[in-house]
Amino acid sequence: MLKGKTALITGGSRGIGKAIALAMGAQGANVALFYAGNEKAARETCESVKKLGVEAECWQCDVSDFEASGKSVKEVLSRFGNIDILVNNAGITRDNLILTMKKEEFDEVVDTNLKGSFYMIKHMCGPFMKQKRGTIINIASVSGMMGNAGQANYSSAKAGVIGLTKSVARELAPRGITCNAIAPGFIVTDMTDKMQDAAKESVVAMIPLKKMGRPEDIANTAVFLASENAAYITGEIIKVDGGIYI
């Protein structure tokens, strides 16, 4: 389905990004991964993707650093020739109640989740416009749609990602570039592993499908959005959340 394409996936070392890398690799895409600091996990993911018969390489790249991400994007372009799919998946949480949330906790989350996505789109829109095609997939969150106590920073950042998605979709559509977002609900990864068991149980009780999602649930949607089957979809936010925000 994605044979001959190259996908650049931020935060591809673990969790949802890793599942997207494997799913896109399984569909024939070459994969470039950005990770923050977990080199071992990134290399392992690369090796697993290569076993699918495609090319894969990883870059240590902090997406909240504009200069660093610009440099890494250039390196990916010279290594793979071109990039067809950009997945802005890198994300962090710094949960805290608003009363005790530090300014740094707000800034860090916005810098990585929202500004990081903007920076990557900035770096890639030139190459995408030149080749007159490109697919951008942003990983948002239902927290950005419904809000979540303890996540004022994260909900704000993800709501921003949704606004970014819609504006970029409108702006780049005439150039043959699509931009969509996936809004996951609660997915089993290191990010949600930090939650207390009691908190997890109360979340699951709120989910109509009565279970947390798997990284593969998000990856399958990302593969669809990157495929020709989704060629006429842009500016869309697809919730993959077990119904928690119906």
Amino acid sitting at position 77: L
Residue identified by tokens 């896109």 is 24
| 64 makes contact with ligand NAP (CB under 6 A) | yes
User: In this structure, which amino acid lies at residue 121?
Assistant: I
Q: What share of the chain is helix, strand, coil (3-state, %, to 5)?
A: 50, 15, 30
Residue number, 25 or 184, with CB nearest to ligand NAP = 184
CB of 185 to ligand NAP, least distance (A): 6
In whole angstroms, what is the distance from residue 76 CA to residue 9 CA? 11
Binding flag, residue 59, ligand NAP (CB under 6 A): no
Question: Which of the following is catalytic: 35, 154, 232, 245?
Answer: 154
What are the structure tokens assigned to 110, written together? 């916005």
Among 35, 80, 106, 128, the residue binding ligand NAP under the rule CB under 6 A is: 35
We find the least distance from the C-beta atom of residue 170 to ligand NAP, in angstroms, to be 23
CA dist 130 and 177 (Å) reads 11
* 245 has catalytic annotation: no
Give the x/- contact pattern for ligand NAP in 128-147, rule: CB under 6 A: -----------x-x------
C-alpha dist (Å) from residue 202 to 94, 207, 212: 20, 9, 11
- Identity of the amino acid at 21: A
Binding site residues, ligand NAP, CB under 6 A: 10-11, 13-17, 34-38, 41, 61-64, 89-92, 112-113, 139, 141, 184, 186-187, 189-192
Show which residues are catalytic: 154
